[in-house]
Amino acid sequence: MALYYKSAKELAGMLSRREVSAVELTRAALDRAEQVEEKVKSFVTRTPDLALAQAEAVDRRRATGETLSSLAGIPVAIKDNMNTFGVRTTCSSKILANYIPPYDATVVDRLNAAGTVTVGKTNLDEFAMGSSTENSGFFTTRNPWDTSRVPGGSSGGSAAAVAVGEAVISLGSDTGGSIRQPAALCGVTGLKPTYGRVSRYGLVAFASSLDQIGPFGRTAEDVALALSAIAGHDRLDSTSAPVPVPDFTAGLNRGVKGLKIGIPREYLAAGISPAVREAVLRAVEVLVGLGAEAEEVSMPHTEYALSAYYVIAPAEASSNLARYDGVRYGVRAGEYSDLVDMFSRTREEGFGPEVKRRIMLGTYALSSGYYDAYYLKAQKVRTLVNKDFEEAFRRFDVLVTPTAPSVAFGIGQKTDPLAMYLEDVCTIPVNLAGLPGMSLPCGFAAPEPAAGVAGGGPTAGDGNGLRLPIGLQIIGKAFDEETVLRVGHAFQQATDYHKQRPALDAKGGARQ
């Protein structure tokens, strides 16, 4: 297998045994990007010089006999809404197109301390608002499994980069599904940690009560490695939790015997494609085969979560995005008559349509006379959604659901904003409750015909045509990422969905 497709765990072994140098590995990832980036477009900014300098530093340190972290020398990609000192950080928005941060986000700082090699900043839906990267102010990232399709979003660039071998690990952020849904659509593993597990310092805020940073990798084990490096209290983020950080790789092999798995029935209801439903139920059977116990459960407030999210998230966003006024940083409109005109022209020219829609929705929901009807009510719904989870977690160790309702859809296919919002029905409740959730590959299916297009329905595992990855979501109790990762690892020890690689545009599907 090509170097750039190996797991971080395998590469860590090779690096420490000096079978490969950090510079060689970095060159392999950079060369891979040279080869595929034109087709996939994962990156807003690539940083080959920085990467090689970091890799050389790791090799020099290793040569002195120093014991290094297992992530030392591993190529990583960072979503472009996390600040990187001296490296442009745009949020894929025209309004920040020229922004060069004077500091590193805490997660970047911690990865640097572990000796990772930064290969670039990845594309996203503008300010992380979207599920396809089509809302990027610059360009759309393509799904490596079929470049006429979206990679998911908003962390689409980070998911695609790992799926196609441009990075071994990447960071994304997840407010309503932005790590898990692109992980599902690109066939990689992605974890949204518990709210407060990872510092948000230096993450450009979208909806502060929901945002959380987490890793993408090719395996649950790699995700565990990355989480161990970035997690933990940070005095620069008062919402980061002062709880101990375990070594998330330590308990991975404990298996799932006797573990209680809940299958919330509402997550398999209308709107979920039959192929996805089948793959998720087959995955549960695999876990039961490994000794877990599974049972259906009802979470009756699930159907209200999406509506509550689309009040709360825009409300918070409208406040967070007030700072982009052309005064302190970012792009300023070229022509204006006075200060107020400068503000409004800057925002008119700088923000894309989805961001403007969210600002208007949020401002409306918070305005006097509507606050009680919308914002307050949404907060009450949030409490009810939390109670559903509390109830379920009295009986179960983890909950298992689909990550996304279907496989990757075509670029330009979802034109109605509401259709796009529905991509996150299975992931949003988890953010409202602040719980950890992970997506990992659990099967493949033929693409579904676009609405109104005649043709056969989706068939699981259609060996002849194009096959696209399906994601399984594992939801855990607050601060119990260990169990989520353990279930994911057990599943990956028993299956090989995560070992499939996209055969970039060679129609005919997955290849080892």
Q: CB of 166: closest distance to ligand GLN in angstroms?
A: 21
CA–CA separation, 297 vs 91, rounded Å? Answer: 39
CA–CA separation, 463 vs 374, rounded Å? Answer: 48
**Catalytic residue, candidates 6, 9, 41, 79:** 79
124, burial (CB in 10 Å: exposed 0-12, middle 13-18, buried 19+) = buried
Active site residue 178: yes
Residues 6+ apart with CB under 8 A from 143: 149, 150, 151, 152, 160, 185, 186, 408, 468, 502
Task: Give the nearer residue to ligand GLN in terms of CB position, either 146 or 424.
Answer: 424
CA–CA separation, 129 vs 211, rounded Å? Answer: 12
**Catalytic residue, candidates 42, 92, 136, 154:** 154
CA 355 to chain centre: 19
H/E run at residue 65? none
Q: CB of 186: closest distance to ligand GLN in angstroms?
A: 15
Q: State the DSSP code for 333.
A: -
CA–CA separation, 84 vs 119, rounded Å? Answer: 12
Is 197 in contact with 203 (CB distance < 8 Å)? no
Of 87-95, 127-135, 449-457, 491-499, which part binds ligand GLN (CB under 6 A)? 127-135
HSE-up (13 A, CA, CB side) for residue 493 = 15
Task: Give the nearer residue to ligand GLN in terms of CB position, either 414 or 486.
Answer: 414
Question: Contact between 178 and ligand GLN (CB under 6 A)?
Answer: yes
What is each CA distance from 271 to 99, 275, 415, 422, in whole angstroms?
Answer: 40, 12, 17, 9
Query: Which one among 73, 120, 130, 215 touches ligand GLN, defined by CB under 6 A?
Result: 130
Query: Which one among 54, 136, 143, 175 touches ligand GLN, defined by CB under 6 A?
Result: 175
Structure tokens at 458: 């989706």
Q: CB of 364: closest distance to ligand GLN in angstroms?
A: 17
Count of residues that interact with ligand GLN, criterion CB under 6 A:
13
Scanning 41-83, the segments in alpha helix (DSSP H) are 48-63
Is 23 in contact with 59 (CB distance < 8 Å)? yes
Nearest residue to 80 (alpha-carbon basis) of 117, 43, 38: 43
Q: CB of 451: closest distance to ligand GLN in angstroms?
A: 20
Question: Contact between 176 and ligand GLN (CB under 6 A)?
Answer: yes
Of 103-111, 171-179, 265-273, 454-462, which part binds ligand GLN (CB under 6 A)? 171-179
Strand order in the sheet with 75-79: 43-46, 117-122, 75-79, 169-174, 212-217, 189-192, 437-445, 468-476, 398-402, 260-264, 293-297
Encoded amino acid at 166, one letter: E
Question: Contact between 228 and ligand GLN (CB under 6 A)?
Answer: no
Query: Which one among 70, 84, 131, 133 touches ligand GLN, defined by CB under 6 A?
Result: 131
What is each CA distance from 401 to 71, 130, 141, 242, 323, in whole angstroms?
Answer: 31, 21, 26, 30, 37
14, burial (CB in 10 Å: exposed 0-12, middle 13-18, buried 19+) = middle
Binding to ligand GLN in span 137-166, by CB under 6 A = 154
Q: CB of 294: closest distance to ligand GLN in angstroms?
A: 28
Task: Give the nearer residue to ligand GLN in terms of CB position, either 71 or 159.
Answer: 159
Query: Which one among 96, 128, 225, 399 touches ligand GLN, defined by CB under 6 A?
Result: 128
Is 407 in contact with 442 (CB distance < 8 Å)? no
Task: Give the nearer residue to ligand GLN in terms of CB position, either 206 or 491.
Answer: 206
Structure tokens at 135: 């809302």
Nearest residue to 361 (alpha-carbon basis) of 153, 353, 380: 353
Q: CB of 380: closest distance to ligand GLN in angstroms?
A: 20
Query: Which one among 109, 166, 174, 482 touches ligand GLN, defined by CB under 6 A?
Result: 174
Active site residue 79: yes
Give 379-438 as a DSSP string: HHHHHHHHHHHHHHHHH-SEEEEESSSSSPPBTT---SHHHHHGGGTTTHHHHHHT--EE
Q: CB of 165: closest distance to ligand GLN in angstroms?
A: 25
Active site residue 154: yes
Per-residue contact string for residues 306-345; x = within reach of ligand GLN by CB under 6 A: -------x--------------------------------
**Catalytic residue, candidates 42, 158, 178, 228:** 178
Q: CB of 184: closest distance to ligand GLN in angstroms?
A: 13
Of 47-55, 86-94, 173-181, 242-250, which part binds ligand GLN (CB under 6 A)? 173-181
Of 96-104, 115-123, 125-133, 259-267, which part binds ligand GLN (CB under 6 A)? 125-133
Q: CB of 16: closest distance to ligand GLN in angstroms?
A: 36
Task: Give the nearer residue to ligand GLN in terms of CB position, either 70 or 92.
Answer: 92
Task: Give the nearer residue to ligand GLN in terms of CB position, either 206 or 444.
Answer: 206
Of 11-19, 107-115, 128-136, 443-451, which part binds ligand GLN (CB under 6 A)? 128-136
Query: Which one among 397, 424, 481, 482 touches ligand GLN, defined by CB under 6 A?
Result: 424
Q: Which amino acids are annotated catalytic?
A: 79, 154, 178
- Write out the residues near ligand GLN by the rule CB under 6 A: 128-131, 154, 174-178, 206, 313, 424
